[in-house]
């Protein structure tokens, strides 16, 4: 109850701040709609004012809004993937509200116009020497209905979500087969999702607050420090200047899950705000696989988010602040298990209470040129859990601060330097943590980007100081070569470093009935990585096809891999006396037809993930041999209906030997696919005379009703012992557990 009271009070405070009147001169407002040459709206087109560096991306209806522009004459540019850029000089008067609608013409050579932050400074995807995959919010939710970020990120090529517990449903993100703990998850470029948050906190990122997701595969420790060995997933939240005045979204699922999201965008003078709240409830227990345990955990969660931006007198961005609150109660176990039975030694259940708060802020004191950027974040994460009779209480507090300076030294040379500091306090009630762990990690980094003709070179170096490990360096080099407008080649190499906390990263250390054993003091993991990619655009008339081929190789030393096979009642953790390798390649196709309203994307990733110790080579458990994804959208414009399809292919995964030898389970999981379908119909156009848009949608997920069966081992006797210990376990997980699900929802936007 105390958490609920604090959440309510903080929400009132933030809503009050959003309505504060800021004294400022009357500004001009520029708004409108961007469409293609057939009149269809263009989402994620970029509208940019050169003189003020102010910009916005269009929403799913092609709408944009630029507020707080001083009177004056500006050059405004509109760019979008596959279209010719539109530039226009506009004279705006004091207090004027100007409507400027833009119709864009197809240009098959312009496939990379999305502004990204992969190198910690704004650039375009095509110009970045580092390969960045940008996924807009509408593509992220293609074919699916969910209020959970983790349900959606698996649709991105090369990314998979690994289910780590068949009872409570915890999961993690793998990039190109690399374990989830090696992926740095950022929010607005800040590393605030600590190891404890990776267990359940990622579920609290509501898709309603996401503008786009940037995925950077390969070594990124030079800019983002520890945890970025395998790659970076950067979640960019919505810009308040480009959100509807009011929006509402609600859905219900056949599993009896319900969700309601409400959002508003208050504006006053040079202040613009965005406030959003999502409530989810699923208290239905069902056991279709007949193992005596509910196939999905029951859960209730509330996520509140608020963001405000302040513009300077010339309309340039000067400051931004965001606050996010998240609370969740999650319960898994037999259908008759409730939270009143937490810790019971008669009915095995798992009950997790998660409470999380995040405060983020950034500022650009240098004004219009935005060369100096200051950013910081405070996070608090609390988890109170029971896994059977095992009680786990963990807290993590993170304070992060960073300053970067970007400077064009000469016309071909761009330099970025920065300093950062991270203070991390972690404590739990496990035997491994007798006192709170405190880590103060200051760092300094820099990189230079040099362009000559079609070649761009980037080099960077980072120094971090870890109290127990001293100074750690993380260098990287990257290169981009574009011999023609249609072809881009990139390569990168770098190193990584990561301090491991087992109890926050490996859920198997808590769930089930195994005892945890550490053979030695665990040394930090280190990595060396190389990536390479080639992209080529085939014009194909008015239907440009983009082909991308990527290769990757990462070698880990001091790799920490849990051994489940030494004894059935133990998990043994130690540094690998050898090395671990993740290598492979991916191929992706992306095509947008203009003659017909059809677009699709597809990719396949092949991986070889193994360890080698004293001459013994073994495939790493739970790493799929290959994955694939396909997404397609077709619009019936005459009736305002859009049909989306998303499919996922997952190859075999090696399962732990213990399950094979003791219980006769398969050593390798089967290759399988899942399929999702979503139909959205527009009843009212938000750009019509009423200023209101109304959409209804229906989705069917796991269309073919494919499930793996029970993910549990010896589910009939979770507390029984035999001569070998307690065999019960919850992590024989490799595929879907919940079958076909139907969702029905409605969305309302008010201009």
- Report the alpha-carbon distance of residue 625 to residue 630 in Å, rounded: 18
What sign does the CA torsion over 403, 234, 385, 567 have? negative
How many residues are recorded in the chain?
751
Give the single-character DSSP code of 139: H
Instruction: Supply the pLDDT for residue 226.
Output: 65
Instruction: For residue 63, give both structure tokens.
Output: 């709408």
Instruction: For residue 199, give both structure tokens.
Output: 């267990």
Instruction: Supply the pLDDT for residue 418.
Output: 93
Instruction: Supply the pLDDT for residue 428.
Output: 85
Instruction: Supply the pLDDT for residue 170.
Output: 83
- Report the alpha-carbon distance of residue 443 to residue 193 in Å, rounded: 18
Strand positions, DSSP E, 203-297: 210-217, 231-237, 246-253, 258-264, 267-268, 271-282
- Under a CB-based contact definition with an 8 Å cutoff, are residues 335 and 348 in contact? no
- Under a CB-based contact definition with an 8 Å cutoff, are residues 607 and 625 in contact? yes
Instruction: Supply the pLDDT for residue 19.
Output: 39
- Report the alpha-carbon distance of residue 198 to residue 184 in Å, rounded: 10
CATH 1.10.510.10 holds for 113-750:
no
Instruction: Supply the pLDDT for residue 500.
Output: 63
Q: How far is CA 290 from CA 268, 296, 736, in A?
A: 57, 13, 15
What sign does the CA torsion over 136, 141, 147, 149 have? negative
- Under a CB-based contact definition with an 8 Å cutoff, are residues 461 and 442 in contact? no
Q: In order along the chain (751 residues), what is the average pLDDT of each group of 10 residues?
A: 44 39 56 84 80 74 81 84 80 87 73 57 76 81 85 78 85 76 79 70 81 80 71 85 89 96 90 94 94 94 94 80 94 92 92 94 79 92 90 91 89 90 88 80 92 93 86 90 92 81 53 61 81 90 86 86 64 79 93 83 93 88 92 90 94 87 88 96 82 93 95 84 68 93 95 79
- Report the alpha-carbon distance of residue 497 to residue 64 in Å, rounded: 41
Instruction: Supply the pLDDT for residue 115.
Output: 57
Q: How many CB atoms lie within 10 A of CB 489?
A: 17
Instruction: Supply the pLDDT for residue 43.
Output: 78
Instruction: Supply the pLDDT for residue 723.
Output: 55
pTM of this prediction? Answer: 0.82
Give the single-character DSSP code of 688: S
- Dihedral angle computed from the Cα positions of residues 421, 422, 423 and 425, in that order, rounded to the nearest 10 degrees: -170
Classify 121 as helix, strand or coil.
coil
């Amino acid at each position: 109850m105390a958490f609920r009271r604090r959440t309510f009070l903080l929400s009132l405070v933030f809503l009050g701040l959003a309505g504060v009147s800021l004294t400022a001169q009357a500004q001009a407002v520029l708004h409108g709609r961007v469409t293609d040459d057939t009149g269809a709206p263009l989402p994620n087109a970029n509208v940019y004012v050169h003189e003020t560096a102010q910009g916005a991306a269009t929403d799913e209806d092609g709408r944009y809004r630029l507020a707080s522009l001083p009177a004056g004459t500006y050059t405004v540019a509109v760019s979008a993937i596959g279209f010719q850029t539109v530039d226009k000089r506009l004279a705006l008067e004091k207090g004027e509200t100007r409507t400027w609608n833009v119709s864009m013409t197809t240009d098959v050579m312009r496939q990379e116009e999305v502004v990204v932050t992969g190198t910690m400074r704004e650039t375009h995807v095509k110009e970045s020497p580092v390969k960045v995959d940008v996924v807009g919010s509408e593509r992220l939710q293609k074919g699916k209905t969910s209020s959970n970020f983790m349900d959606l990120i698996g649709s991105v090529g090369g990314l998979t979500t690994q289910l780590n517990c068949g009872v409570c449903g915890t999961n993690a993100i793998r990039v190109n087969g690399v374990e989830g703990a090696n992926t740095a998850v950022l929010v607005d470029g800040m590393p605030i999702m600590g190891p404890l948050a990776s267990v359940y906190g990622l579920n609290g990122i509501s898709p309603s607050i996401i503008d786009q997701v940037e995925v950077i595969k390969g070594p990124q420790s030079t800019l983002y420090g520890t945890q970025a060995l395998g790659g970076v997933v950067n979640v960019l939240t919505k810009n308040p200047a480009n959100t509807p005045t009011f929006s509402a979204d609600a859905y219900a699922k056949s599993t009896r899950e319900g969700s309601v999201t409400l959002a508003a965008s208050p504006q006053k003078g040079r202040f613009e705000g965005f406030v959003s709240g999502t409530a989810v409830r699923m208290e239905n227990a069902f056991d279709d696989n007949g193992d005596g345990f509910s196939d999905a955990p029951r859960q209730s969660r509330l996520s509140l988010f608020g963001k405000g931006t302040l513009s300077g007198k010339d309309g340039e961005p000067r400051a931004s602040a965001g606050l996010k609150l998240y609370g969740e109660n999650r319960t898994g176990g037999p259908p008759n298990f409730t939270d009143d039975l937490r810790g019971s030694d008669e009915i095995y259940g798992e009950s997790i209470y998660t409470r999380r708060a995040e405060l983020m802020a950034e500022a650009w004191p240098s004004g219009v040129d935005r060369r100096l950027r200051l950013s910081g974040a405070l996070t608090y994460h609390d988890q109170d859990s029971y896994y059977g009779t095992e009680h786990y209480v963990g807290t993590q507090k993170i304070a992060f601060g960073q300053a970067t300076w970007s400077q064009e030294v000469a016309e071909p040379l761009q330099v970025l330097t920065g300093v950062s500091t991270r203070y991390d306090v972690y404590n739990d009630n496990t035997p491994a943590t007798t006192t709170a762990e405190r880590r103060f990690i200051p760092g300094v980094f820099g990189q230079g980007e040099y362009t000559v003709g079609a070649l761009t070179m980037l080099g960077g170096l980072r120094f971090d100081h870890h109290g127990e490990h001293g100074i750690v360096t993380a260098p990287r080099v990257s290169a981009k070569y574009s011999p023609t407008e249609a072809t881009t080649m990139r390569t990168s190499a770098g190193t990584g470093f990561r301090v491991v906390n087992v109890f926050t990263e490996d859920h198997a250390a808590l769930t089930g009935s195994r005892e945890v054993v550490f053979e030695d003091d665990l040394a930090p993991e280190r990595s060396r990585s190389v990536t390479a990619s080639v992209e080529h655009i085939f014009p194909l008339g008015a239907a440009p096809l983009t082909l991308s081929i990527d290769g990757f190789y990462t070698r880990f030393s001091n790799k920490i891999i849990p051994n489940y096979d030494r004894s059935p009642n133990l998990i043994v953790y130690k540094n690998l006396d050898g090395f671990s390798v993740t290598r492979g390649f991916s191929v992706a196709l992306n095509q947008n037809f203009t003659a017909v309203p059809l677009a699709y994307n597809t990719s396949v990733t092949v991986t070889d993930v193994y360890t080698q110790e004293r001459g013994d080579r073994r495939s790493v458990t739970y790493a799929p041999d290959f994955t694939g994804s396909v997404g397609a959208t077709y619009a019936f414009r005459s009736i305002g209906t859009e049909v989306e399809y998303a499919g996922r292919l997952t190859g075999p995964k090696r399962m732990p030997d213990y399950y094979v030898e003791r219980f006769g389970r398969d050593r390798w999981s089967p290759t399988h696919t899942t399929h999702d379908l979503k139909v959205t119909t527009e009843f009212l156009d938000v750009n019509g005379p009423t200023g209101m848009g109304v959409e209804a949608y229906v989705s069917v997920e796991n269309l073919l009703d494919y499930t793996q069966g029970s993910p549990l081992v010896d589910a009939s006797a979770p507390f029984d012992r035999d001569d070998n210990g307690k065999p019960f376990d919850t992590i024989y997980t490799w595929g879907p557990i919940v079958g076909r699900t139907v969702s029905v929802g409605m969305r309302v936007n008010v201009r």
